[in-house]
Structure formats: structure tokens, C-alpha cells
Amino acid sequence: MRHIKFIITLCLFNIFILHSNNSYRGENAWLNYRFVEDSVLRNDYKTIIGKIFLSENKFGDVIKSELKISLIKLLGLEVYFTNNVEEAGLCIYIDKNVKCLRKEGFLIKSNDKKIILQSFSDEGLLYGVFYLIRKIQCHNSLKNLNLIEIPQIDLRMLNHWDDIDGNIERGYAGKSLWKWTELPEKIDKKYYDYARLNASIGINGVVLNNVNADPRFLRDDYLMKISALAEIFRKYNIRIYITANFASPIKPSKTPDEMKAWGGIGDLDTADPGNENVQIWWKKKIEEIYRLIPDFGGFLIKANSEGMPGPQDYNCSHADGANMLARLLKPYGGFILWRTFVYNKNVDNDRMKRSYKEFKPLDGQFEDNVILQTKNGPLDFQVIEPPQPLFGAMKHTNMAAELQITQEYTGHSTYLVYLLPLWKWFLRFDTYCEGKGSTISKILKGNLYGRNITAIAGVANTGSSVNWTEHHFAQANWFAYGKLAWNPDVLENSVTIEWIKCTWSNDIYCVETIKNMMCSTWKSFINASSPYGLGLTMDIPTHYRADFNIRANKEWQVDNIGIGNDRSDKGSNFVSQYYEPNSLIFNEIVTCPEDLLLSFHYVEWNYIMKSGNTLKDDFFYKLKSGIFQVKRNIYLWKSLEKYIDYVRYEDVLNSLICEKHDATRFYCDAVSFFYSRINMIDINQINKF
Ligand code: BDP
């Protein structure tokens, strides 16, 4: 009888899986727990983790529920928790002797019969459990493990550019996840799912609102709403941060539209950081915040940039502004993340030089709970641009990298562009600030100058879209960012494979094919939109497609002799902001890496490239790469039809078809620009696609 009951349950379970696969829309992202079909493997897992011992810890509920959900789906296993360490196959506990694991690390040891997951603190257990589950998702053996995982960066944050009205600046996946009109009374289930996805990849901080900060977020009513979110996120070890408008202490402006730039929520006439009343205002505000949110992370601030107010409005420096707030946050353990994204025209004619020129003289002047949050490049999240030379130059200041996960300049949610290769390329860059081997990765980890606090931020690509990111493959950028934030030296290939297995399939052909589709997309997007690192090429204001026409002879020079930017010592001398030998290497056309050639040089069209062809031939050939890439991806994706669930298969195919359409159109526009305006090429060269 019991046997029959078991068979019926198994059949129903399989029908359920089949059915849910047909309507699955990607909502679980990489926590897509699919049944392990291989019965030998499944039984192996089951025998070892049938009984679990879990010590008391503050994430106990979340851990238990994740183990329950995952193991029933992956293995059909009803989890049994025991208090008896001896009988448990999986033992999860805190050990105060393993201090070396620090606050969030964990270790896993196993043999054929037992797995030990240990940490020094509660946080480590949370991350360790997600790690173990992922091993099962990837069909990896749980036997004979002996590993230690410690996050290499302390604050691993997502920055949401979400506005108070529910829109997302540069967001391509629907509306904001935060339903301000419903909070704090109504709690959307998605808040939990979002927190869970983040915890599973080690994200431990979330900035809720846009850097172009609406001061109303600091009003009492909004703080109540924010504290409701904080309560949920705390369960997943995620701290909340708010982007604060520097002019918040000022009286509100008359019309709400003006609030961003001109008004505040206070009753003062100034936001001067040296003014005592301003300091008192912030002190009270900070007290209020910590009363509601005891683990509040701090403020992110965009000051004196793109019209946002800041200390310079009062003849004070960025350091004066940041320090005033940092001192008030310090007693509570809060941080100031101060952005270095400034490009004031009066500072220098060359935009690439401006941020460095403003911040380098301030090195050493910031409080130790100030972190300068700095975009990877000196322009603005271009698909490729030279690394920002402030990395390495600020030896006495905490530096965080700001990466952009949302694809503002890399095809929005239409293009499949996998950004991990870009980020790895940036992190591997050797600044030479302390001699050979002074990579940006080391700077961020705090290894080079022994920093006490380290941080990284990614501009989020999530929204109300069912699958969070609209393009299913954009989930990969979110996942990869989390893995990179945990360990900037993580291997690209292992992250990619893990994401594919957890999200799509464990089938070897499927894994290889999807990897193949993803890995060259960064390069092909560069080639199609900004060959040889030309620089700002995207249209205004959407930044979706390369518009050479609008950018020509503004952001870079072009004529029928050549193209590019002279930033050598004969031009703007931006190269001098780098340490030697980078400054020397970038300075010469012959030694400058071709990937960045046009960022640093104006190069004649008939210059012979490493390929042996002229720049002109290679440049125009590269412009076609976007079309080659997407055609190839369509071909590869179609070969996966039988492996992929229906809705997601169709969604991706449709995205690829749109991408092909747009890539073709943009290529034709680009070629006709060079033909008609620069009078360079024969119109007959425009191939018909
Ligand atoms: C640019 C975006 C703009 C942001 C700005 C920033 O176009 O929407 O406000 O960066 O980072 O990339 O502050």
C-alpha cells in the first residue's frame, strides 16, 4: 500500500514539474530548483542530507525554509531536522573558535557520510547553506569537500535608481519594486523573493532610491515605509541605505517637481555643511532613522554633479560635505558613500580628467567611514573605457567601485550582453600604484593599503518584470555581480557555468551552447558601438543605440583623415593621471592596447593595425559584429528548443529577433554616417542584411 502511495506521489510530482515547466516565466531566476533526474546522484544526496542538525541562529527560519523548498524540489526530500548531531548527515553550526572565517565566511568539510558547515557567526551559516544548495543544483558531489569561503569585500551593495513615483532611472525591467503608496501597511511577497535572491549570492546592502535623490525619502512618512522594508531585508542579512539629497535641510520648494534640485524637507535656508543648524538638523534626522532602523547602513550621496546640490554650493569641498555627515553617522556604525562621478566643465576641457582633478587633492582628508564610490571608468559606464585613474591614486581613502548592472549603454533589455568579462577586465587592470601587481581587485579588497572597510556597488537591473530583469539573460549580470562582489577574483568560467546550470539546465550541450552565446557578447557590443574604445557614442537621451552622428566632433574627433581622441602628452595629457608604465604605454600609438586606442589617440584611417589591415578596414568590419553575434545566437538558441521550457524559450527568441532588427538598423545608420558626413566609404559597401 505504502509502495503504491509512493508511486502515485511521484507521478503527481512529475506532472507538476512538467506542467510548471511549461508555464515557468523565470521568476525564480537562479533559484530555479529543478528535480535531479539522475537517481544515483539523487540518492547520494539524499542519504547524506536526509537528517539535518541546525544550531540556533538568527537566520534559522530563513535557512530552514530554504532547505525545505530546495530539497523537496531538487530531491523530492522532506527535510528532517534533528537535535542529535551524531545522527545528522548535515551539521550546520556556529563555532566561536573559527574566528578566521570573520563575520560572513564559512567552511565546509565532508566525507562519504557527513557534511559539516561551520561559521564564526550567524551570517556565515546563511551564505553557506545557499552555497551547498547551489552545489546540488549544479549536480556537484557533496563528498570529500574541504573548503573555506570568506567574502573579500565587506559591503556588497546594489544601488537602485528608483524614484518616488515608481519609475526607475535607466531601468528597463518595468516599474520599481518598492510600492511606496502601499508601504508600510501592505507587504508585497516580492520583497522577500528579492531579498532571498540577493542573499543567495552574498549581497548584503541595498540602496533603495535614485542617486538623483528626492529629499522626500528622508521624510518621517517615508522612513516608516523604508523601515518596513528594512525589517524584511534584515532577515536576509541585508542592510538598507538611502540616497540623501544634500540640500534636505532646506525648506521645501513650492512645486514638488522642483524638489530634486532646489528644495528640501527642512526649515532652513541653507545646507552649508559648516553651519551649526544644518549639522543639528542632520543629527536629529540620523537619530530618527536609527530609532526606526537600528542597522541602517548610511547614505549614498551624489553631490555637485549633474545639477545635484552639494558642499561646493557653499564654497566647501567634497571632503567637508562628506565628513560632516560621516561624523554624525559614526557612533551608529553608519557609512557615507560619496560619489566621485563629477565632470564640471570648468575643471578641465577633457571630461576624462575632471573627477581625478577634483578628488586627488582631497586624498587623506576623508573620515574613515567615508567611502568614495567611483564608477569603473572616467566617462560614464561605457561598454569599454579606460579604468578610472583614481583607483590607485587615492592611497589614504576608502574606495568602492561602482559598476552598472542595468544596461544603460549596453543595449537595455533588448540586447543579450553579458557584462562579467567587462568587470573582470577592469578588476584585473594593473594600476602599478605600488609596483607591478597593484590590480584594482587588490585595491578594492583593501589588500594594498590595508583599509578597514571595503565596498562595491552595482546599479541594479531589477524591476517589476515577472523575471525581474525583463531579458532572461540579464539575470546573469545580477548573479555575476553578486559573485564578483563576494570575490573579485572569482573565475569567469565558473560563474557563468554555475549561472547556466542553476537557471537553465545541467545538460552538457545546453551549458556549452549558452556559454558560447554569452561569452563574446561584450566584445561584439564594443565592436558594433564603440570600436577601439572610441568613447561616448550612444544617442541622447536614451543611450540605447550608437549615434555617431550626434557625438561626432563633440566627444571625439572624426574627419576623412582619422578618428579618435588625443589624450597623449601632445593632447589633453589624460595619460599623465596614470602611474608608469601605464602612462607611457597609453601615450604612444604603437604601445597603446588596441582595445583603448581611440580613447587615447586620434589615429589616421590608413594606420596599419596589428591585424595587418588599415584602421579603416578593421573599423568598418567591426561595426558589423553586432549582426554577426546575434545571428549566431539565434542559430545557437534554436538548437536548444527541446531543452528549454516553452515560455522562456520563446521570450529569448523574441528578444534575439528584436536585437537582430535593431543591430541591423544601427549598422546601416552608422555606415551611412561615415559615408555621407565624413565622405569616407562607398555607399555600395553598405551590405544588405
Ligand atoms: C548616467 C545616467 C544618469 C545618472 C548618472 C549618474 O545617464 O541617469 O543619473 O549617470 O550616475 O549614466 O549619476
For the cut 90, the answer to whether the pLDDT of residue 675 exceeds it is no
Report residue 355: phi and psi, to 5°: -65, -45
Task: Check residue 678 and give its pLDDT.
Answer: 73
Taking residues 403-417, report their average pLDDT.
98
For the cut 90, the answer to whether the pLDDT of residue 684 exceeds it is no
* Residues 560, 646 share a domain: yes
* Residues 293, 216 share a domain: yes
Task: Check residue 253 and give its pLDDT.
Answer: 78
671 located within any domain:
yes
25 located within any domain:
no
* Residues 424, 320 share a domain: yes
* Residues 529, 488 share a domain: no
Considering only the C-alpha atoms of the chain, give the largest distance between any 2 of them, rounded to a whole number of Å. Answer: 88
Taking residues 329-334, report their average pLDDT.
98
Identify whether 408 is a catalytic site residue. Answer: yes
Lowest pLDDT segment from 20-24, 169-173, 348-352: 20-24
> In angstroms, what is the span from residue 352 Cα to ligand 1's centroid?
15
**The pairing of beta strand 155-159 with beta strand 205-207:** parallel
Task: Check residue 298 and give its pLDDT.
Answer: 98
Please give the share of the chain, as a percent, with pLDDT higher than 90: 91
pLDDT tens for 353-376 read 999 999 999 999 999 999 999 999
Q: From edge to edge, which strands make up the β-sheet containing 557-558?
A: 557-558, 562-564, 602-604
pLDDT tens for 505-535 read 999 999 999 999 999 999 999 999 999 999 9
For the cut 50, the answer to whether the pLDDT of residue 540 exceeds it is yes
Please give the number of the atom of ligand 1 that sits closest to the Cα of 380: 12
* Residues 404, 293 share a domain: yes
> In angstroms, what is the span from residue 132 Cα to ligand 1's centroid?
38
Q: With the CA atoms of 391, 392, 395 and 398 taken in that order, what torsion angle do they form, in degrees rounded to the nearest 10?
A: 30
Buried b (16+ CB within 10 A) or exposed e, 332-365: bebbbbbbbbbbeeeebebbbbbbbebbeebbeb
Helix axes 420-428, 474-486, angle to 10 degrees: 30
Task: Check residue 3 and give its pLDDT.
Answer: 53
* Residues 490, 528 share a domain: no
Contacts of 235 (CB under 8 A, 6+ apart): 59, 61, 62, 195
* Residues 548, 439 share a domain: no
Q: From edge to edge, which strands make up the β-sheet containing 146-149?
A: 80-81, 51-54, 90-94, 115-119, 106-110, 146-149
Task: Check residue 18 and give its pLDDT.
Answer: 45
Rounded to an integer, what distance in angstroms lies between the CA atom of residue 199 and that of residue 193? 10
Contacts of 421 (CB under 8 A, 6+ apart): 492, 519, 522, 523
Task: Check residue 261 and give its pLDDT.
Answer: 54
pLDDT tens for 59-116 read 999 999 999 999 999 999 999 999 999 999 999 999 999 889 999 999 999 999 999 9
Report residue 29: phi and psi, to 5°: 50, -125
Grid coordinates belonging to 458: 552595482
508 located within any domain:
no
Average pLDDT along the chain: 94
* Residues 121, 171 share a domain: no
Cα separations (Å) of 632 from 71, 497, 524? 37, 20, 12
260 CB within 6 A, ligand 1: no
Which of 408, 409, 461 to mutate for ligand 1's pocket (most ligand atoms within 8 Å of CB)?
408
Domain count, the chain: 3
Domain boundary residue, one of 90, 124, 149: 149
> In angstroms, what is the span from residue 462 Cα to ligand 1's centroid?
16
Rounded to an integer, what distance in angstroms lies between the CA atom of residue 367 and that of residue 273? 15
Domain boundary residue, one of 117, 149, 181: 149
Which of 210, 341, 406, 407 to mutate for ligand 1's pocket (most ligand atoms within 8 Å of CB)?
341
Q: Which residue range(s) make up the domain with 191? A: 155-503
Taking residues 236-257, report their average pLDDT.
90
3-state SS record for 233-257: HHCCCCEEEEECCCCCCECCCCCHH
Closest CA to 309 of 298, 318, 297: 318
23 located within any domain:
no
* SS3 (DSSP) at 59: coil
For the cut 80, the answer to whether the pLDDT of residue 15 exceeds it is no
Taking residues 255-269, report their average pLDDT.
74
pLDDT tens for 17-68 read 444 567 999 999 999 999 999 999 999 999 999 999 999 999 999 999 999 9
Rounded to an integer, what distance in angstroms lies between the CA atom of residue 178 and that of residue 166? 7
* Residues 200, 139 share a domain: no
Say what the pTM is: 0.95
Task: Check residue 1 and give its pLDDT.
Answer: 47
For the cut 50, the answer to whether the pLDDT of residue 186 exceeds it is yes
Rounded to an integer, what distance in angstroms lies between the CA atom of residue 407 and that of residue 350? 25
Domain boundary residue, one of 450, 470, 503: 503
Q: With the CA atoms of 392, 395, 399 and 402 taken in that order, what torsion angle do they form, in degrees rounded to the nearest 10?
A: -20
Task: Check residue 407 and give its pLDDT.
Answer: 98
Contact 426, 573 (CB under 8 A): no
* Residues 380, 397 share a domain: yes
Q: With the CA atoms of 146, 152, 155 and 156 taken in that order, what torsion angle do they form, in degrees rounded to the nearest 10?
A: -70
Identify whether 402 is a catalytic site residue. Answer: no
For the cut 70, the answer to whether the pLDDT of residue 257 exceeds it is no
Q: Where are the beta strands (DSSP E) in 200-290?
A: 205-207, 239-243
Query: What percentage of the chain's residues is helix, strand, coil (to nearest 5)?
Result: 45, 15, 45
Task: Check residue 256 and give its pLDDT.
Answer: 59
For the cut 50, the answer to whether the pLDDT of residue 688 exceeds it is no
Taking residues 669-685, report their average pLDDT.
72
> In angstroms, what is the span from residue 407 Cα to ligand 1's centroid?
12
For the cut 80, the answer to whether the pLDDT of residue 2 exceeds it is no
Task: Check residue 685 and give its pLDDT.
Answer: 52
CATH number at residue 246: 3.20.20.80
408 CB within 6 A, ligand 1: yes
pLDDT tens for 459-506 read 999 999 999 999 999 999 999 999 999 999 999 999 999 999 999 999
pLDDT tens for 628-665 read 999 999 999 999 999 999 999 999 999 999 999 999 99
